[in-house]
């Protein structure tokens, strides 16, 4: 058997040994039902096929799993919906009603999807060189708008790196409150009339070293805007630029 063939959409068919192992494992992993009251186990025992037990019960027979702990199963409990196909989630247990009336109905729906090329379980079938695969259909999604490229930013000097962990209070430091005020003033000038807040940088200490950069987040009418701040090395003077969507590409003018 070709292991690359995906017979079922989004799930892998279990072998008989895997069915037994999955059933045993799920029977041992109990979902919390304390908040449903002391009478809930008796309620579950009186339920019929298709009812939600909020837990795994012996009458559930897994037959296909998605690899992430969730699986499809046959609800073999008595009742009008006996044999229906349902979905069991690792977190939400058996919440949700029957997906198909029977295993035959489920298999037939998969066959129809493959033959017609129509969607099944949010996936669309495709075949290449006799190999069946299921993929998400993106055909009805609008094309993504082209993303802007980085904008050139001309600088009078090159940027430099610094290691925040090596900067101490005894180094020559920039006054970050002054920097914050400059950032906020720049934001207000670029967004007149807007409510501007924030402007703090993530660093506790920044050396007064020409070319050192830091980012600030400013709330402009509640929307975050990012600002690039560049230390000039002269007092607390900094260059402040709002980051465009595509970022910057830096050009040093000689």
Asked if the model's pLDDT at residue 227 lies above 90, the reply is yes
Q: What is the per-residue pLDDT across 12-38, written as a single tens digit (0 to 9) for each?
A: 999 999 999 999 998 888 777 777 888
What does pTM read for this prediction? 0.53
Amino acid 32: pLDDT: 76
Asked if the model's pLDDT at residue 204 lies above 90, the reply is no
Amino acid 1: pLDDT: 42
Which residues have a Cβ under 8 Å from the Cβ of 186 and sit 6 or more positions away? 227, 240, 242
Amino acid 3: pLDDT: 47
The CA angle 25-30-33, to the nearest 5 degrees, is 160
The tokens for 176 are: 């970050």
Q: What is the per-residue pLDDT across 54-64, written as a single tens digit (0 to 9) for each?
A: 889 999 999 99
Domains of the chain, by residue range, sit at: 12-136, 151-252
Helix (H) or strand (E) holding 187: helix 176-190
Q: What is the per-residue pLDDT across 79-123, written as a single tens digit (0 to 9) for each?
A: 999 999 999 988 888 888 899 999 999 999 999 999 888 888 888
The tokens for 42 are: 């008796």
Cβ(122)–Cβ(134) under 8 Å?
Answer: no
Print burial letters for 183-205: b (CB count within 10 Å at least 16), e (below 16).
Answer: bbebbeebbeebebebbebeeeb
Across 42-50, average pLDDT: 91
């Amino acid at each position: 058997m070709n292991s690359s063939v995906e017979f079922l959409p989004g799930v892998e068919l279990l072998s008989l040994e895997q069915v037994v192992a999955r059933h045993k494992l799920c029977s041992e992993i109990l979902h919390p039902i304390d908040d449903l009251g002391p009478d809930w186990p008796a309620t579950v025992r009186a339920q019929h096929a298709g009812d939600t037990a909020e837990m795994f019960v012996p009458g559930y027979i897994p037959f296909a799993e998605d690899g992430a702990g969730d699986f499809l199963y046959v609800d073999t409990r008595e009742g009008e919906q006996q044999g229906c196909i349902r979905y069991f989630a690792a977190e939400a247990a058996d919440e949700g009603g029957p997906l198909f009336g029977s295993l035959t109905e489920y298999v037939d729906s998969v066959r129809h999807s493959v033959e017609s090329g129509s969607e099944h379980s949010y996936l669309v079938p495709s075949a290449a060189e006799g190999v069946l695969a299921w993929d998400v259909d993106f055909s009805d999604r609008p094309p993504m708008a082209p993303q802007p490229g980085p904008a050139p930013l001309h600088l009078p000097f090159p940027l430099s790196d610094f290691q925040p962990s090596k900067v101490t209070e005894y180094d020559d430091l920039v006054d970050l409150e002054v920097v914050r005020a400059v950032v906020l003033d720049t934001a207000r000038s670029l967004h007149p009339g807007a409510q501007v807040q924030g402007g703090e940088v993530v660093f506790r200490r920044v050396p007064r070293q020409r070319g050192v950069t830091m980012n600030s987040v400013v709330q402009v009418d509640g929307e975050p805007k990012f600002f690039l701040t560049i230390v000039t090395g002269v007092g607390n003077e900094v260059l402040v630029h709002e980051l465009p969507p595509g970022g910057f590409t830096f050009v040093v003018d000689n």
